[in-house]
Structure 1
């Protein structure tokens, strides 16, 4: 039996150095607002307003994602309680129902735009360039989310580059130049995609797996917590924005496509017995072998995104590690 082993991360830091020297933050991603017919991607403006009110009342530092370039490249620390608000796809419901709220709170935000869908037709679900320009003039940053909104892992290199560059040119033509920041359609990428994005000069890139962000992250696979009505209660929201990164010193993924399974081997300074892990699909088994947390996921037969989350409660703080494994055309991508 042939296994594919991929070592993703090798980190050497302690919880103390992680927080006292570099800082950490929570990146949130939203899509639609007050569109109940899309429950997996929509949140009510009432819930969204309660979340913004909570951030304001509790003195969170709501920052633009461009600040992360300073953090990752220029030696600037993130302040305590850093939160970043991002919106994918540029649906018109954001402009109509959420943008006024963000203006009221004077919060910065970032919209990731699939340029091929920009449309001034009144019946369109998407914003037009005039609306996007208004966002930019009111603390909104507009960034690349592709042109066609097709998963990047489906493209050959030439077509992928063309799609990203087409979106970049359209944004620059209509809104001017901006930082080289991108988010992947559906949050999907692999090593091939990330290498191309890096080669095109992008500084950071966002996925859609849940985890707090810290300095030792892969800058081309940054996590974001997806927020909708189902998982957007104020109680859960307050838990998310107060989570801390689980420091992982070593991650190895063993891919067994023949048996529709994969395995993660994790090393951390935390008590392995107290770590709980969850997967959105498939069967999960957790064990400990020679001070390594072994997480095996079987029955992963569907072509989909497998989101793995591991959490630990320590001294009233919740520590969180998350990652996403994609199965596409019966192959796993990490």
Structure 2
């Protein structure tokens, strides 16, 4: 016989659950990360958002109950299999721009949101007035700020100098990284051993070295992190420029990792033919028929289903020189969230001496 819901003990239990439901924090095993640069009205549009827009973003996070988490702690928890709070999200900035301190920091401090700034130290050493000082960074660490590696001079990390050997290139790049680590420890007392690659560029050799050195790395492809992610080249969502609209931000914050078993992008470098990427999905009940892939500057990719759980997405035409990407999204079964995956290719100009591995 089924128990009646009118039983006094059961009624009391239901009342307690209802009472404490707003305070229950449900576990999350993935993490979206927001990427900012400038918080200013007077800086390049593509990497900037206004103080008002940044305030709007942070107010939305607070009002909708998002839990802004410390980036390094959250990543350590994901790797260890420990759950994150429900609606966890992390906030990052690239480059050590002073307008982060002037315009962004007061808003973050008011909300008590932790954040991470990836710094390049050359302009700091040169006392460039547009960049943070160590004194400002020390102040920010007392209010949730963490400072991490963005190299000394912000180079294209895969480009060799004229006449430079592969060995000399790698030693130069290692020095770009290790010098920042020394500066972080000297001026701030510690380093989280995280690096954001300038322009999002890295290769397997750099990623392997950094992993062996205990680093976590970040590119500039978009997506959501979980335990299956490549922790030497993690994705983040850009939230400035064309992506600063609150409607765009809402979609990204509601995103989840794409349920991929594997993918094959054909290599890091694009050529003078259209790129393609093959995605193999995990077994499960997914809305694969609603998968859509978009090519930067070209519209939708052509999808060719090889099997019921494997598809190749091909760009309509070849990329121009620079960096191009394919972003793939798929609604989850609730239709309230999107699974998200992105891949970036580099198409070097003939004059650019990129390493070939």
Normalising by structure 2, we get a TM-score of 0.81
Correspondence for 2:321: 303
Matched, 1:100 2:106: yes
Structure 1 Cα separation of the partners of residues 320 and 134 of structure 2: 38
Correspondence for 2:130: 125
Secondary structure of 2:139 counterpart: helix
Correspondence for 1:136: 141
Query: How many corresponding residue pairs?
Result: 313
Correspondence for 1:25: 31
Matched, 1:82 2:94: no
Rate the CA distance shift 1:220–1:172 in 2: closer, same or farther, 3 A: same
Q: 1:221 aligns with which of 218, 221, 233?
A: 233
Q: 1:319 aligns with which of 332, 335, 339?
A: 339
Correspondence for 2:21: none
Correspondence for 1:210: 222
Counterpart contact for 2:158–2:355, Cα < 8 Å: no
Matched, 1:115 2:121: yes
Deviations 1:77-102 (A, max 9, x none): 22221100001101011110000000
Correspondence for 2:247: 235
Correspondence for 1:247: 259
Secondary structure of 1:159 counterpart: helix
Structure 1 Cα separation of the partners of residues 45 and 280 of structure 2: 36
Query: What pairs with 1:50-65 in structure 2 (closer than 5 Å)?
Result: 50-65=56-71
- State the shift of 1:215 in Å: 1.2
Correspondence for 2:291: 275
- State the shift of 1:26 in Å: 0.8
Rate the CA distance shift 1:210–1:333 in 2: closer, same or farther, 3 A: farther
- For structure 1, which segment, 70-79 or 50-59, has the greater mean C-alpha deviation from structure 2 after superposition? 70-79
Matched, 1:173 2:178: no
**Higher RCO (CA-CA < 8 Å; seq separation 6+):** 1
Instruction: From the two aligned structures, give the one with the greater strand fraction.
Output: 1
- State the shift of 1:32 in Å: 0.3
Rate the CA distance shift 1:49–1:273 in 2: closer, same or farther, 3 A: same
- For structure 1, which segment, 183-192 or 249-258, has the greater mean C-alpha deviation from structure 2 after superposition? 249-258
Q: 2:214 aligns with which of 171, 179, 201?
A: 201
Counterpart contact for 1:260–1:298, Cα < 8 Å: no
Rate the CA distance shift 1:72–1:169 in 2: closer, same or farther, 3 A: same
Q: 1:293 aligns with which of 303, 306, 311?
A: 311
Give the superposed CA RMSD: 2.3
Rate the CA distance shift 1:136–1:224 in 2: closer, same or farther, 3 A: same
Counterpart contact for 2:115–2:145, Cα < 8 Å: yes
- State the shift of 1:206 in Å: 0.9
Q: 1:262 aligns with which of 265, 271, 275?
A: 275
Counterpart contact for 1:281–1:300, Cα < 8 Å: no
- For structure 1, which segment, 93-102 or 266-275, has the greater mean C-alpha deviation from structure 2 after superposition? 266-275
- State the shift of 1:233 in Å: 1.4
- State the shift of 1:72 in Å: 3.9
Structure 2 unmatched runs, 5+: 1-25, 161-168
- For structure 1, which segment, 283-292 or 239-248, has the greater mean C-alpha deviation from structure 2 after superposition? 283-292
- For structure 1, which segment, 215-224 or 245-254, has the greater mean C-alpha deviation from structure 2 after superposition? 245-254
Secondary structure of 1:171 counterpart: helix
Secondary structure of 2:85 counterpart: coil
Higher gyration radius (CA): 2
- State the shift of 1:290 in Å: 2.4
Structure 1 Cα separation of the partners of residues 27 and 115 of structure 2: 25
Counterpart contact for 2:327–2:343, Cα < 8 Å: yes
Secondary structure of 1:83 counterpart: strand
Structure 1 Cα separation of the partners of residues 211 and 50 of structure 2: 36
